[in-house]
Amino acid sequence: MTNSSAAYVEGVVDYSTKIPNNVGLVNDARVLKALEQWHPGYIDWWMTMGPDGFQTSEVYLRTAVSIDPKGWAQFDYVKMPEYRWGVLLATKDEERLVNFGASKGEKAWQDVPGEHRAALRRLIVIQGDTEPASVEQQRHLGKTAPSLYDMRNLFQVNVEEGRHLWAMVYLLHKYFGRDGREEAEGLLQRRSGDHDKPRMLGAFNEATPDWLSFFMFTFFTDRDGKMQLESLAQSGFDPLSRTCRFMLTEEAHHMFVGETGVGRVVERTCEAMKAAGAGDPYDIERVRRLGVIDLPTIQKKANFHYSLSLDLFGSEVSTNAANYYNAGLKGRFMETKIDDDHLLSNAKYPVFKLVDGQPKLVAEPALSAINMRLRDDYSKDCQGGIGRWNKIIEKAGIKFELKLPSVAFHRGVGEFAGVETTSDGTILSNDEWLRRRGEFLPNEDDGAFIASLMKPCWEKGKYAHWIAPPKVGIDNKPGDFEYVRIPRA
């Protein structure tokens, strides 16, 4: 056994090649060469479309050094272009089986089954395309960071999305030959919001113009990413499963950034209202004069990001999702913990549909309702964070409750695409929607007000007026820790 093989078995990351990895690249000359050839294009993309204006800053980042859950990362200062992006897979289980679909009970596949080649490639490319897209969406936010702590968290999310791109590119190069190499190049050529070459999914072509949008994105849209990774982690194709299982380790921090970020915005708003004796959360102008974001506007931002994220799950009833499941390619959230036959041949699942002009639950074949079930799991996961935000509001003694909007609201995909409703799902005419849209979604005035607050606050230990400090520092650092060392002119 070579040293590199031993490192791979033990889960240690090998830094002897340009591409840090725990997959034995040193013994796989073909794939190593392909990735080294892809690397300059990736760096060019990062310098062009990555965080704007901070490529020479030293950032206190975590870098994966192992896949051991008890100590997988180390923290240190690094300039982002010098970050060691690598290929990391969770530990291989030699006894792992395909746990669902027609191949249930077979040994998990270590190579791509020929009959599933195109479908697997499609799933990997779609997941891979989301990773650079979010970096592109967020590239200008550093300039208006409300603290060095938040700036550091933004950059941590960005570099890890970059590493997730590397994870998918490795699978394309390793298992899909020329087609995989071409798809890997395409991942660097598309651009978020580009008219001619947009990213593949709608939510990843939206602008992220401010920090509240960023926090909402990392809470809602990265949570969709969690659900998708969880379902791909069930895959019978073991390298994809292992890739996604380790990605989930990193993804948890991204959702932490979103939930605590919104929570700190809510906390600061409540503090300012209480100090000023402004007890009415719907007196928006008075609250805004305090220099904080009013709760109704926070609700409208949540409505927007939640509805866009729901669209990422696709149609509620989907032949493609059924085929992926039946083939053993993509499972359900926590598939092995579900108490059923994992075949779904005769099972039913309730699906929201428009019936006689009203949203109603209709029993559909569970196999074709895979997307709906995953989306329901997502909504339950979101509700936990909403509940924690509401506890902050309740503790402050303010009568206001944040809510998830109806699944029928503001939809561009699925059963309710093109149907206009209020945030609670009441059907509206097109004229009513145009007249009332600003009640439920951010309007230009809301955007302009939030933009007016986006002033950089880069002094150590200081935070912008509209957001509360965190309870604990990253890596337990003190409140005045310099998370980002910005070169001064």
Specify the DSSP element, H or E, that contains 484: strand 484-485
Beta-bridge partners for 62: 75
- Residues 244-263: pLDDT tens digits? 999 999 999 999 999 999 99
- Is 395 exposed, middle or buried (CB count within 10 Å of its CB: 0-12, 13-18, 19+)? exposed
pLDDT at 306 over 60: yes
pLDDT value of position 6? 41
Is residue 7 very low, low, confident or very high in pLDDT (cuts 50, 70, 90)?
very low
pLDDT value of position 13? 84
Sequence-distant contacts of 458-464: CB under 8 A, at least 24 apart: 458/145, 458/147, 458/148, 458/151, 458/484, 458/486, 459/148, 460/148, 462/147, 463/146, 463/147, 463/149, 464/146, 464/147
Sequence spans of domains, the chain: 3-290+313-372+442-485
- Please provide the size of the chain in residues: 489
pTM of the model: 0.96
| Residue range 12-27: mean pLDDT, rounded | 90
CA distance 276 to 294: 14
CA distance 329 to 123: 9
| Residue range 8-24: mean pLDDT, rounded | 80
Is residue 11 very low, low, confident or very high in pLDDT (cuts 50, 70, 90)?
low
State the alpha helices, DSSP H only, in 343-478: 370-395, 430-440, 444-453
Amino acid at 286: R
* CATH fold label, 3-290+313-372+442-485: Ribonucleotide Reductase, subunit A (1.10.620)
What's the chain's average pLDDT?
A: 95
pLDDT at 2 over 70: no
pLDDT at 33 over 90: yes
pLDDT value of position 489? 65
| Residue range 157-179: mean pLDDT, rounded | 97
pLDDT value of position 4? 41
| Residue range 84-91: mean pLDDT, rounded | 93
Is residue 357 very low, low, confident or very high in pLDDT (cuts 50, 70, 90)?
confident
**CB neighbours of 225 closer than 8 A, spacing ≥ 6?**
130, 251, 254
- Residues 329-338: pLDDT tens digits? 999 999 999 9
